[in-house]
Structure 1
Amino acid sequence: MSPTRRAILAAPALLLPGLALAQAPDPRLAERGVGPADAPVRVQEFFSLTCSHCAAFHREVFPKVKAELVDKGAIRLIWRDFPLDRLALTAAQVARSLPEGQYEAFIGTLLNNQDRWAFSRDPMAGLAQMAGLAGMPRPKFDEVVADDSLARAILEQRSVAEREYEIRATPTFSFRAGDRAPRNQSGSIPFERFQALVEEAKKA
C-alpha cells in the first residue's frame, strides 16, 4: 500500500513530540521472525497492519512461503513495523506487548481479519477485542495504547527503514544473503516471484 492510501505518519515527530529524545530501545522491539538464524537468506518484510496489500500477501502467499522456504531452512523472515497510520501504530504496539511466542499468530489474526477491526465502525474497539482474544485484559490494552515510549520506538524504527532501506510503500521485502547488498521488492508479490528473489539474492 502506498503511504498516500491512509492518514500517513509522514512527520512522526509531530504526532508524538519528543521522538528525537527517545530512550534506549525497548526490549519489546527485539527482532520478530521465523526461520533459522543461520538461514542463507534473510528477508525483511516491512509491513503495516492496516495495509490491504500486506493482508493479501499474508493470506495468499505467506502460508506457502512458510511451508516451502521458512520451514525448510532456506530463509529467515523478519517482520519490520512500518505503520502507515495511527491505528497501525497502535496495533503494532499491542502485537509487540504480547508474549513473543504469540506475535506471529496475533499479527496473522489481524491481517487475516483486517476488515473486522481496521475498517469497522469502531477500529479501536475491534482491536481491543482481538487483543482480548489473545489474552490481553482491557486494562493492559489501555496501558499499551497509552505507552508513548513504545510508540516512539516503533516510529524510530520506521524512520531507520526509510533512511537505510528507502522504504516508501508496504509491503516491501528486502532480500539479503550474507554481506551482499540487499535487494528490495514492493507489493504483494506471488510466491513464484518471492522464491525467484530468494535465489537471486544467493547469486548477487
Structure 2
Amino acid sequence: MSLLSWETETVDFNRRQFFIRLGAGTLAAGAVAMLPAAAFAEDKVDVAELLKPGPLGDMSLGDEKAPHTVVEYASLTCTHCKHFHDTTWKPFKEKYIDTGKVRFILRDFPLDPLATAGFMLAHAAPNNNFFPMVDLLFDQQDKWAFVDDPVSALQQLSKQVGFTQDTFELALKNQALLDAVNAVKDRGATTFGVNATPTFFVDGVKKPGALSLEDFDALLS
C-alpha cells in the first residue's frame, strides 16, 4: 500500500486518520524504544559494511576523505534527537564537519509513521534540501509532531523548503520512497543493532544516546 492514499482525496486528515492510513506500511519493523543516556557498553561494527549506502544513497556532510566518520541513526519525532540537534549539532558541525575532520552521515530510523513521513519529505525536498528540511523539522518539532492535525502542519512547514501541495502529496504517496526509508531502518536494526534513537557510530564504535560536544571531543581526540 502507498503511504497515503490521496489519489481521490484532499489533505484534510486528522491525526487519528493519519496514523490509521500509515500504520501497517510504516511500522512493519515494530516500534523501538528511545534511550536517553549515552553511557553504554562499547560495540564496534564493521566500518566498511556500515558505510555502504542505502537505496537512496547516503545523506552526508563534510569531506569524504575526512579522517573520522560519524553516522547518526535518528527519528524526527524523537525528543532526544531534538535535544542533540538543539544543544550539540551546531557546535559539532562547526568544530568537526566544517573543518574537514569529520564526514557526517544521517540515516533514517523513524520510530513512528509521522517520522517516516518527515523523512520522506526530507528526501523529496526540492533542490536537494534534505538537511534544511531535517533542521526545520527538528526546530519546529512541537508544531507538527505533537499536534492534532500533523498533516496540515507538515504541509505548511514543507512550503518553506519549496514544496507545493502537489509535490507534498506526491512525496507521501511514493511507495518506492517509503520502501527505501524502511529499508534503511531495517538494516540499521538487523545489521548494526540499532534499537534506540539517536544512535551514533563514531568510526564504527556504537554510541547510543544524545551525545554532547564533550563526548565527541573524547571520542575523536
> What's the TM-score, normalizing by structure 2?
0.75
Distance 2:128 2:217 in 1: 26
Name the residue aligned to 2:207.
185
Q: Which among 170, 176, 189 is matched to residue 162 of structure 1? A: 189
Distance 2:127 2:93 in 1: 18
Deviation at 1:188, TM superposition (A): 1.0
Residue 145 in structure 1 maps to residue 161 in structure 2:
no
> What's the TM-score, normalizing by structure 1?
0.81
Distance 1:99 1:141 in 2: 10
C-alpha RMSD of matched pairs (Å): 1.9
Identity within the alignment, %? 31
Name the residue aligned to 1:60.
87
Aligned length: 175
> RCO greater where, 1 or 2, for CA within 8 Å and sep 6 or more?
2
Gaps of 5+ in 1: 1-6, 14-24, 177-181, 200-204
Residue 11 in structure 1 maps to residue 33 in structure 2:
no
Change (3 A) 1:89 1:129: same
Tell me, yes or no, if the aligned pair for 2:27 and 2:113 is still in contact at 8 Å.
Answer: no
After superposition, the C-alpha distances for 1:168-192 in whole angstroms (9 at most, x for unaligned) are: 000000011xxxxx11111112110
Distance 2:118 2:104 in 1: 20
Name the residue aligned to 2:40.
none
Distance 1:76 1:174 in 2: 12
Q: Give the SS at the match of 1:197.
A: helix
Name the residue aligned to 2:101.
74
* Structure 2 counterparts to residues 101-180 of structure 1, below 5 A: 101-176=128-203
Deviation at 1:12, TM superposition (A): 3.8
Gaps of 5+ in 2: 1-22, 31-53
Change (3 A) 1:33 1:41: same
Tell me, yes or no, if the aligned pair for 2:122 and 2:130 is still in contact at 8 Å.
Answer: yes
AA matched with 1:135: G
Q: Give the SS at the match of 1:136.
A: coil
Change (3 A) 1:102 1:10: closer
Q: Give the SS at the match of 1:105.
A: helix
